[in-house]
Amino acid sequence: MEIAILVPCYNEEQTIGSVIDDFKRELPNAKIYVFDNNSSDRTSEVARAHGAIVRFEPRQGKGNVVRSMFRDIEADYYVMVDGDDTYPAEFVHDILAPVQKGEANLVIGDRLSNGTYFNENKRQFHGFGNNLVKGLINKLYKSNITDIMTGYRGFDRLFVKSMPVTSPGFEIETEMSIHALDNRFLIKEVKIDYRDRPEGSESKLNTISDGAKVLRMIFTLFKDYKPMLFFSVWAALFLVLGLAVGTPVIVEYVQSSFITKVPSAILAVGFVLLSMLSLACGLILDTVAGTHRKNYELQLNRISDRSERG
C-alpha cells in the first residue's frame, strides 16, 4: 500500500530538511511530496537535496496547496504535516494506524490534550482562537473534537479524492473538519506532542486576519451545510424584532381602533416579511442540500468502487 507524505511549504528553508529526514527515517518506503508555495528562500532546493519530490503551487495560500495535493497525488494513504518541524515524525505511525485498519477516514493529530501545545506556543491569543472555533463547530455538529485546527492529519484515499477544497488559505483545516462531520466520515483523534518552531523560524500566521477568515469560513459552511438551521435563526431573529416593534402598535389599535405609530407599523411588517422570506429560503435550500447529499453519497460509492478495482 502506497503512503504519501504531503508537506505544504512557504519559506521553510531552515526546517524542511529536518522534517524530510525524520519522516524518511520513520517511513522509508513512503513518498514525500513538498509543495513549494512561492517561497523566496531555498525551500525547494533543500527539499530536493534531502530526497523529497518537489512540486510548485503558484496560487498563494495553504488551501490552494492542499487542493493541488489532493488532486494530483495518487496513493492509498496520506499524511499531511506542516514543514515547520513542529510536529514530531514519530507519531506518524499512530496517525496512519486507524486509516490503515479501516477505523477512520480522517485522523486528527490532537496537539492540545497532552498540554505540549500550550507549553510550547507563546501566542496566547491562538489558544483562545482554537477554543472558540472548536466550541462553535462542536456545538453546531454535536461533536467532541478536541483539536480542530491541527496541521498533522491522516487520510484514506476516499476522503482525499472526495474532498471539495474551496478555502484558499489557513481555513483549510476548519473546512476539512466540517466536511468530515457533515458527511459522516469516520473521524478519530490521536494524541500527539507539539514543539514550537526553532529559533529563527517565523510563523506565517496572523492571529487576527487568519482568525477572521476561519470564522467567516464557519459562517459560510454553516449556511451551505445546514441551511434550514441557519435561516431559521435569522427568521426567529426577525420575528422577535417584528414583535418587539409591532406590539405597541397592536396594543394601541386594540385600545383606540386607531394607529398613530405608522412608521413602527411599517417597520414591524418589514421584519415579519423578512422572517417569512428567511424561513422560505431555509426550506428551499434544505431540499437542495438534501439532494446534494444523496448525489455526494453516490459519488463516494463510485470513488470507492474505482479504488477497489484499482
Tell me, yes or no, whether 208 and 287 share the same domain.
Answer: no
Q: Give the mean pLDDT per block of 10 residues along the chain (310 residues).
A: 94 94 96 95 95 95 94 95 94 96 95 70 60 84 89 95 88 90 93 80 62 79 88 96 93 87 92 96 92 83 70
Amino acid at 179: H
CA-to-CA dists, residue 56 to 23, 30, 228, angstroms: 20, 20, 40
Tell me, yes or no, whether 174 and 283 share the same domain.
Answer: no
- Model-level pTM greater than 0.85? no
pLDDT for the residue 126:
59
Calpha distance 176→233 (Å, rounded):
25
H helices present in 142-206, as ranges: 157-161, 172-182
pLDDT for the residue 113:
84
Answer for the pair 81, 18: CB distance below 8 angstroms, yes or no: no
- Parent domain of 250: 227-309
pLDDT for the residue 259:
84
Question: Which run of H or of E encompasses 78?
Answer: strand 77-80
What is the number of domains present in the chain?
A: 2
Residue at grid coordinates 525547494: 44
> Mind listing the pLDDT tens digit for each residue in 298-309?
888 887 766 666
pLDDT for the residue 46:
96
Q: What is the CATH number of the domain that holds 148?
A: 3.90.550.10
φ, ψ at 153 (rounded to 5°): -140, 155
Tell me, yes or no, whether 15 and 103 share the same domain.
Answer: yes
Closest listed residue to residue 296, CA positions, set 206, 203, 164, 190: 164
> Mind listing the pLDDT tens digit for each residue in 148-175?
889 999 999 999 999 999 888 878 988 9
Q: Which three cell numbers stand for residue 18?
A: 529536518
Last residue of one domain, picked from the residues 225, 253, 285 = 225
